[in-house]
Structure 1
Amino acid sequence: MTTTESSLWEALRAVVVGEVAADAATLATHSTDASNYRHIPLAVVRPRSADDVLAALRVCAERGVAVLPRGAATSIGGQATNEAVILDFTCHLNRVVRIDPASRTARVEPGVVLDALRAEAARYGLTFGPDPSTHSRCTLGGMIGNNACGSHSVAWGKTVDNVRSLEIALHDGTRLEVGRTSPAELERLCARTDAVGELYRALRSLRDRYLADIRTGFPVLPRRVSGYNLEFLLPENGFDVAKALVGSEGTCAVVLSATVDLVAAPAARALAVLGFPDCVAAAEAVPALLDLPAITVEGIDVRLVDALDARRPGRRAELPGGTAWLYLETGGGTPAEAENAARQVVDRAPELGASARLVVEPADQRALWRIREEGAGLATRLADGSEAWSGWEDAAVPPEQLGSYLREFETLLDEHGRTGVVYGHFGDGCLHVRIDFPFTASEAREQYRVFLTEAAELVVAHGGSLSGEHGDGQARGELLPLMFSTRMMEAFRDFKAAFDPEGRMNPSRLVDPAPLDADLRVVVAPPTLPTRAELALHADSGDLAAASRRCVGVGECLSSSGGVMCPSYRATRQEQHSTRGRARLLFEMLAGQVVTRGWRSPEVREALDLCLGCKGCKTDCPVGVDMATYKAEFLSRFYRRRLRPAAHYAMGALPRWLSIGSAAPRLANALTRSRLSGALKRVGGIAREREIPELADTTFRQWFATRQRQVADGTPVVLWPDTFTNHFDPKPGRDAVAVLESLGYSVHLPETGACCGLTWYSTGQLGTARRVLRRSLDVLHPWLQQGVPVIGLEPSCTALLRADAAELLPDDDRVPLLADSVRSFAEQVGRVPELPVISRERRVLTQVHCHQHADLGFDADHALLARVVEDIDVVDGGCCGLAGNFGFERGHYDVSVACAEQQLLPAVRAAQHGTAVNADGFSCRTQIRQLSDSEPVHLATLTARALGVSGT
């Protein structure tokens, strides 16, 4: 940090109550948005109040420093990254101040997440109309900055159509409220002698000078987002300064709060899905559908479906025939009304040559909408594994021109040798696309510039807008003169100057823009470290640089509910503890410009320290970022030839210690319950708040060796005696044996010493993990050659055997055999056509283990549960927070508990009396036991109860 930067930081700290950060980790995590661009900020301010914002603005004005107001940073044009002081509103200024159901309005702070506003509004039967696919994490301030739209814009318009007034601050700290202005009020404001009067006089002069240009200078289409909204300064539009500022991308003022309109939310919805031969055919059908009572007309391409299907199979089967589809959602006061409206769409399908499916079940609708909402992430990896990028992301044309534009755009792609996956808001003529620009090639910048220029000329020729949703930013600002006249460009400059005469608000965007081919993050920050990983990283051909680029910043990991990822971010709300933040730190570590100590970087170690290794991101991230694997890779490098934390020696080598302890389990338990327990925890790096689980008096292996075998000549299966079942909790193992034998299987255990190596793998002790896994493969190989199933009871160990083993031992030809042989308990038992159930548990609450969610899937377990219990309630995502060694490690307890409090513990406490709590992971059961009054059970135990068998 230079002396000037240090002085700025100190000046901000002196006046801001909230956080001011300029450390390497914060600068790295805020260096980019969801675009291709990268700028290292000067500092990051997290204001706690409007007064904090004003104080920070005054410091920046005094020092001539640029300012960038920022929400969730999901912007794709590059408008949320700049060499400026970033005002991050997501941490504190994130409230719904009030909702007025009578006027159907809400007052919100800029950092409030859209879904939080919608949840509050839903109490009154209302919602906020614009709903971009990032609705679970995008902020209202960011939506106002970008003039966001979303899937329902055909019904409720863009953000600008739903903003009543804004409370803003100018760069010098002047604070004012703006909105519609009557002629009399305008005269009064212009007569003022302060900064507010100067602003209004400048805006009135601009309107008068460019009146004719403004009235004729904008293309007529639903999705014109490019440029400033000068049309709202016209007399016939009420000289509405608030609407004129919507879409200004933080280049004019800072939004302190906003009053927005709400709309009545349909009580019920239905979905009609139409299938077409290709995207052009779908686009050409759009004009014939716009007279129907639909509130969305969205398009997707088969390549999006295939990308999701590869990770979560079954989506393609839910769609009607075709390789491109239109979603038309309808609403009504009752399900019947919504369904009848959707049938009108389905009835139109034959005359359009389309197949059709009517979807009325809410769960089925959500599953289909997930394909569309994850498009920005799914489209970043093409079928051949190559990378695709934003840049020409959301151009829009009049809907009647969409088919013609798309056909010519596909020709343009072919001429440039590029491939792109198209999807988007077909009803408004707005297309999203990710393109395989060759950013790692020497000619990257030139090819990028030529393509974007020709694409801009094409969309303008069709009467369209360079941006139809995501704004201009750095990606399209330079191209605006192709769309607007010289006079209009002059008007844009005057508009910015009226608010920001010194040009300090998010500079080089829209007006006097930075070159569109400058600051491309892959170009300006290439890796300086060797990027070949120790692990296989099959998804990225072993290249950690490609893995770090996998995150494109769409920010699904910032969602506050649903899914599993990212539990530590939900607990801390700090960017470096999100999947996105960690991926950016790895990217910057490889580049070596901001994070400078390579594999010994403390910033990366600190961020990954709170990664639970839950693997939620592997499935929930639309791009398939696998941070648990990257963490194992990093820890292996960071601690090479260095002393490791005590927890790595204690819990990383847990199977070894338990083998010793099992020789005298009562003595071991007495020690962990004695006054020596505190010292033992300190030596082992264990949190003092944690109880050390007791060892079983008799291990599962010991019980199995002395029991009387029930089936000797049945179909053989191998039951995997994982460390946790064997030493801590043998009952699921015993019950699994009882169930399997009652179904006619001959159960075998592998020889002593078999272990998957999970605890060494998760702590980055990869060499030991490989040796342990090889030894287990030696033991299992005869069974694998015969095709005997290997049944796992502990989801984390089962997942390692099925998936992570290939990362550790990619060249061992026994690993594919292992992956094919490994089955969960439910997958094996579910194969039996008829289960001899004699009684059913009445009600069960189920916690799905994170590794099962990521690598194994829950379908087989849900199906088996449905056969052995009457009523199933599945916890809505989240992580138990213990996550193996994570929740036991010193310094992690508070985060571990906070993770459990997100979904699991509230669900356990709210469960009706008599509800059985099912958790197959030993970590999950331990967390529930230690933090609640419930005694959780494994699926094997529930099944044994239902079949009337017991492993006692």
Structure 2
Amino acid sequence: MRTSAKTKDRPDTAEVTASLSEVDCGEVAGDMRTRAQYSADASNYRRLPVAVVFPRTRQQVIDTVAVCRRLGVAITCRGAGTSTSGQAVGEGVVLDFSRSYHRVLELDPQARTARVEPGIVLDDLQRAADDHGLRFGPDPSTHSRCTLGGMIGNNACGSHSLAWGRTAENVLELEVLTYRGTVLTVGEMSAAEIDAAVAEGGERGKLIAELHGLARDHLALLRTELGRFPRQVSGYPLEQLLPERRFNLARALVGTEGTCAVVLSAKLRLVPTPPVRALVVLGFDDAWAAADAVPALLEQHPIALEGLDRALTDLVTRPDGRAAIATLPPGQAWLFAELGGEASDLPARAQALAAAAAGCTGAEIITDTERMTRLWRVREDGAGLATRLPDGSEAWPGWEDAAVPPAALGAYLREFTALLDRHGLRGAVYGHFGEGCLHVRIDFDFDTEQGVGVFRRFVGEAADLVTAHGGSPSGEHGDGQARSALLARVYRPEVLTLFRRFKDAWDPDNGLNPGMVVRPLAVDADLRVDPRRRPLPLTTVLPFHADGGDFAKATRRCVGVGKCRTTAHRGDVMCPSYRVTRDEKDSTRGRARILYEMTQGDVITDGWRSAEVRDALDLCLSCKGCSADCPVGVDVAAYKSEFLHHHYRWRVRPASHYSMGWLPLLSRVAAKLPGPVNRLTHSRLAPLVKRLGGIAAERDIPRFAATTFVDWFRARRPGGPGERGPVLLWVDSFNNHFSPEVLRAGVAVLEHAGYEVRVPDGTQCCGLTWITTGQLGIARRLATRAVAALRPSVEDGVPVVGLEPSCVAALRTDVPDLLATPAARQVAAATTTLAELLVHRTEGWVPPRLAARSLSQTHCHQHATSGFDADRILLERLGVANTVLDSGCCGLAGNFGFERGHYDVSVAAGEQVLLPAVRAAPLDTVVLADGFSCRTQIAHGSERVAAHLAQLIASALPDRPTELPFTEPPRTEKPDTEIPTTERPAT
């Protein structure tokens, strides 16, 4: 194993950033945190850039290239950084187009074309085109974050390339910039146009003459060696220079991985969206049988034909994903065959396709859009799911993307499986079976020199194997550092010579992404996990069981697929702050990367005391969305708690850690004199109180209730016989002290359902606020007390019901992780939400009927742990017409939105979906939000008051009649169980 050769006498970061800043190149970053975050993509490689530039305009791109050329610094262009082959990392300047250089410049529905800047995310283009019934054909699984510039660089394909081809077939023109500063627009050219360009001379004429001569002199070689089947992506697509391809320089640049020119803009072909789709899911005994069935199925003309095996579906953890795969036809592998067309034709076509599936163990035709979406999501999450095997072993790219002609797929897959077995390796297989392209993540051992040697030998033998089957080491992800050095095993020397000539014609200075495709870096150089590097000896409080207690291994769960960089709301929560700032440091990936660099100690050198890590974690809301939405289960909320615990150990903490971190204890004190405390926090001294507490000046401090729920409950008599037996109601600090009416409504509902309601002895707390602020020692003591108080009842089979989703999540996940005891796990298993108890454990209970409409905000912690399915079922049984918002986190997230310096991001997160939807909701629509933080954010950002599900149910109970104020004017006082919908609260 070796490292890549370093550039001699390369200017240092200070000189480069100063030179770039002297000219208007956009935002220039040379700080260690940013450089560390851009040192890796979704591959196995790690290369620290000298600086990162974020251009906003075309001229800033041109100026950046000019400065780098003058300094002799290489440039690596980058979109979302989801490349699995290492072509999005480099030691020079990284040019990130995704943050600001991402406009749709022109969209012509009649011509079915669009012109875009390279940083635009594919889904953003799709939304713009969808207004006209159009779409861009290629759709990689990373469509929610991948950029068109990255797709052009890698010649991306996606699931529907059967219908609409690769990116190359959908690019009409490119406006590009060479390293030497020449700007030119390229596309297809006739012989007359070629002659005219050559005669005109200049840099453009010279370039076209050289490339035309290359093609003219090697026609037979280009026709026989390249472009043999659709997924032959490895190397440069020089077949596009053939006269029958109309000497298309734009398409010849697609797939060159940023090594030849910088894309300034692209003119793209759009295609009509099929009016109706149907998904035929076919089961097979194994992936080999599924591969064998492909040729016959292709004759049915599906628009997509994807495969996955049991090894991948076993890795699905999301509740909606598990529900989706539970209904798959019997088998150990499946093909997803999608048909598109007119509704009248699809049933017969779907039946014919199912009948053509030789060896099929079962088939199902699906037309329900929601169910199709859930199944496609399992397939799209494959790149992340496959990075961990069922036993927790790490799996890596490196042989991620090979393709063979579809007719050879079954034979290739059998031999490939045998090759894995010979090397003692494992991996989950999935991919574009319809085009012979397989994806697999393999459990290479990069922690040892021996394991790296196995990796090196394996990829060499795999290259020989795929070549023997007429295939290509890359089928859509490009060669990058992972496969460029293998091209000598795939192509004849004459072809490699043509690749070098093509690169040198465009980039004679080798200034653009050096080491990729030609003159390649070694496949085992610059590995992100290097056995020669000794990580810092870091001891953690949290156990990180899934990663063997290894914090470095936990942080490198992030393999860079970048799902956290999604800006559109598609039922995901992560990552709220990234959706506001679009800054890599505020993504789950960016935070995981900087934490991993901290564990290594050579780039971020201060360990737990690192200011760079502290700043990267500052805008993490601890929403826990990443723990569920990240396909690999990266849990930055846990990493943040661990870091803050060590970072501030024996040091003065931020004021908010004392005011809001200790809120449950302070609330007990305030509850003794709620009136005076409320008058103080809403008096002229309120600004001083907020400043001392580290609270944002823009926030109103919530008012303490006149009577806590606990005081009310212990003074009351039971409201029913409790024939179903006891239930333990968890009294969370938020509702107990600020909104006891929620807990009182919960008692009414539980007693109506036949339960005897009890509360834990003493005053208990799950420790959530101490966990989120990284005060894990105190949190552990509080959690231990809580478990001790709950355990006797739990051992008797009594369920624990919580009404505050964040506390329910803490009892289910945080507390057992923090304590790692059988008692904590027992309590976690007994803890349930109100909806789960009533839907799944209360047989025979008939809920009251309520003809109402509601709008629901799902708490982010509930999304991460239990989901909304039980709530949805319960609302249907109530007769409520409910709409669940695709809003993600509300933005307040406990202490986050109250902390000074976070207000703008907090409100911006709420304004993306939640607050506008609440303001637009009719007055007769109940706004439901079980989380105290969600209700507070809604109150602060609108004229509406949100209710808890328990309050909604209680309002319909026959023995507690309460009219809902759907159309009434706001009142100043309301009964405890009323559902307020128009009045702004006093908070």
TM-score by length of 1: 0.98
Give the drift of 1:538. Answer: 2.0
Counterpart of 2:269 in structure 1 is 261
Q: Distance in 2 between matches of 1:921 and 1:353?
A: 47
Paired residue for 2:780, among 755, 766, 770?
Answer: 770
Pair 1:520-2:530 in alignment: no
Alpha-carbon deviations, 1:606-654, whole Å to 9, x = none?
1111000000001100001011001000000100111100000110000
Distance 1:3 1:253, change over 3 A: closer
In structure 2, the residue corresponding to 1:314 is in which secondary structure? helix
In structure 1, the residue corresponding to 2:265 is in which secondary structure? strand
Counterpart of 2:693 in structure 1 is 684
Q: Check the 8 A contact 2:446/2:530 in 1, yes or no.
A: yes
Counterpart of 1:146 in structure 2 is 154
In structure 2, the residue corresponding to 1:150 is in which secondary structure? coil
Give the drift of 1:909. Answer: 2.2
Q: Check the 8 A contact 2:289/2:359 in 1, yes or no.
A: no
Q: Check the 8 A contact 1:301/1:422 in 2, yes or no.
A: yes
Counterpart of 2:488 in structure 1 is 481
Counterpart of 1:807 in structure 2 is 817
Give the drift of 1:282. Answer: 0.2
1:198-237 equivalences in 2 (<5 Å): 198-218=206-226, 220-237=228-245
Give the drift of 1:915. Answer: 0.7
In structure 2, the residue corresponding to 1:641 is in which secondary structure? coil
Counterpart of 2:350 in structure 1 is 342
Q: Distance in 2 between matches of 1:492 and 1:32?
A: 26
Alpha-carbon deviations, 1:749-788, whole Å to 9, x = none?
1122211000001100000001111111222222122121
Pair 1:786-2:793 in alignment: no
Q: Check the 8 A contact 2:282/2:360 in 1, yes or no.
A: no
Counterpart of 1:471 in structure 2 is 478
Pair 1:29-2:54 in alignment: no
Counterpart of 1:590 in structure 2 is 599
Give the drift of 1:820. Answer: 1.6
Counting aligned pairs with the same residue, the percent is 54
Q: Distance in 2 between matches of 1:168 and 1:525?
A: 41
In structure 2, the residue corresponding to 1:624 is in which secondary structure? coil
Give the drift of 1:835. Answer: 4.0
Q: Check the 8 A contact 1:308/1:315 in 2, yes or no.
A: no
Counterpart of 2:715 in structure 1 is 706
Give the drift of 1:219. Answer: 5.9
> Letter of the aligned partner of 1:133 in structure 2?
S
Pair 1:16-2:52 in alignment: no
Give the drift of 1:520. Answer: 0.7
Q: Check the 8 A contact 1:795/1:921 in 2, yes or no.
A: yes
Counterpart of 1:861 in structure 2 is 871
Q: Distance in 1 between matches of 2:539 and 2:333?
A: 38
TM-score by length of 2: 0.95
Pair 1:492-2:502 in alignment: no
Extract unaligned runs of 5+ from structure 2: 1-8, 961-975, 978-987
Q: Check the 8 A contact 1:110/1:257 in 2, yes or no.
A: yes
Counterpart of 2:608 in structure 1 is 599
Number of equivalenced pairs: 949
Counterpart of 1:317 in structure 2 is 326
Q: Check the 8 A contact 1:114/1:140 in 2, yes or no.
A: yes
Pair 1:658-2:667 in alignment: yes
Counterpart of 2:62 in structure 1 is 54
Q: Check the 8 A contact 1:618/1:625 in 2, yes or no.
A: yes
Alpha-carbon deviations, 1:392-439, whole Å to 9, x = none?
011000100000000000000000000011000000000000000011
Pair 1:940-2:940 in alignment: no
Q: Distance in 1 between matches of 2:614 and 2:869?
A: 35
Q: Which moved more, 1:711-720 or 1:561-570?
A: 711-720
1:626-637 equivalences in 2 (<5 Å): 626-637=635-646
Give the drift of 1:560. Answer: 1.0
Pair 1:168-2:176 in alignment: yes
Q: Distance in 2 between matches of 1:699 and 1:845?
A: 28
Counterpart of 1:285 in structure 2 is 293
Q: Check the 8 A contact 2:848/2:878 in 1, yes or no.
A: no
Pair 1:833-2:833 in alignment: no
Extract unaligned runs of 5+ from structure 1: none
In structure 2, the residue corresponding to 1:326 is in which secondary structure? strand
Counterpart of 2:399 in structure 1 is 392
Counterpart of 1:409 in structure 2 is 416
Alpha-carbon deviations, 1:158-192, whole Å to 9, x = none?
00011000000000221110001121221121123
In structure 2, the residue corresponding to 1:444 is in which secondary structure? helix
Pair 1:920-2:956 in alignment: no
Q: Check the 8 A contact 1:739/1:949 in 2, yes or no.
A: no
Counterpart of 2:748 in structure 1 is 738
> Letter of the aligned partner of 1:687 in structure 2?
A
Give the drift of 1:275. Answer: 0.1
> Letter of the aligned partner of 1:550 in structure 2?
R
Pair 1:693-2:683 in alignment: no
Counterpart of 1:245 in structure 2 is 253
Counterpart of 1:107 in structure 2 is 115
Counterpart of 1:796 in structure 2 is 806
In structure 2, the residue corresponding to 1:637 is in which secondary structure? helix
Q: Distance in 2 between matches of 1:949 and 1:539?
A: 49
Pair 1:304-2:341 in alignment: no
Counterpart of 2:92 in structure 1 is 84
In structure 1, the residue corresponding to 2:912 is in which secondary structure? coil
Q: Check the 8 A contact 1:836/1:947 in 2, yes or no.
A: no
Q: Check the 8 A contact 1:219/1:464 in 2, yes or no.
A: no
Distance 1:938 1:129, change over 3 A: same
Alpha-carbon deviations, 1:662-721, whole Å to 9, x = none?
001111110011001000000000000000011111111111111222235530111011
Q: Check the 8 A contact 1:835/1:947 in 2, yes or no.
A: no
Give the drift of 1:222. Answer: 1.7
> Letter of the aligned partner of 2:918 in structure 1?
V
Counterpart of 1:73 in structure 2 is 81
Pair 1:272-2:284 in alignment: no
Alpha-carbon deviations, 1:797-848, whole Å to 9, x = none?
01111111111101x2211210121111111122333444444142110000
Q: Distance in 1 between matches of 2:848 and 2:662?
A: 42
In structure 1, the residue corresponding to 2:280 is in which secondary structure? strand
Alpha-carbon deviations, 1:231-273, whole Å to 9, x = none?
1111121111000000000000000000010111101111000
In structure 2, the residue corresponding to 1:129 is in which secondary structure? coil
Q: Distance in 1 between matches of 2:691 and 2:583?
A: 28
Pair 1:42-2:50 in alignment: yes
> Letter of the aligned partner of 2:831 in structure 1?
V
Q: Check the 8 A contact 1:309/1:315 in 2, yes or no.
A: no
Pair 1:452-2:462 in alignment: no
Paired residue for 2:853, among 843, 846, 849?
Answer: 843
Pair 1:362-2:369 in alignment: yes
In structure 2, the residue corresponding to 1:865 is in which secondary structure? helix
Distance 1:3 1:128, change over 3 A: closer
Q: Distance in 2 between matches of 1:661 and 1:2?
A: 62
Q: Distance in 2 between matches of 1:766 and 1:185?
A: 71
Give the drift of 1:108. Answer: 0.7
Q: Check the 8 A contact 2:12/2:50 in 1, yes or no.
A: no
Q: Check the 8 A contact 2:25/2:61 in 1, yes or no.
A: no
Give the drift of 1:922. Answer: 0.2
> Letter of the aligned partner of 1:492 in structure 2?
F
Q: Distance in 2 between matches of 1:45 and 1:869?
A: 55
Distance 1:794 1:150, change over 3 A: same
Paired residue for 1:755, among 759, 765, 772?
Answer: 765
Distance 1:777 1:838, change over 3 A: closer
Q: Distance in 2 between matches of 1:916 and 1:39?
A: 53
Counterpart of 2:883 in structure 1 is 873
Q: Distance in 2 between matches of 1:510 and 1:612?
A: 41
Q: Which moved more, 1:116-125 or 1:242-251?
A: 116-125
Q: Distance in 1 between matches of 2:532 and 2:64?
A: 30
Alpha-carbon deviations, 1:48-100, whole Å to 9, x = none?
11100110111111111101111111111111111121111011110111111
Give the drift of 1:293. Answer: 3.0
Paired residue for 1:332, among 320, 341, 350?
Answer: 341
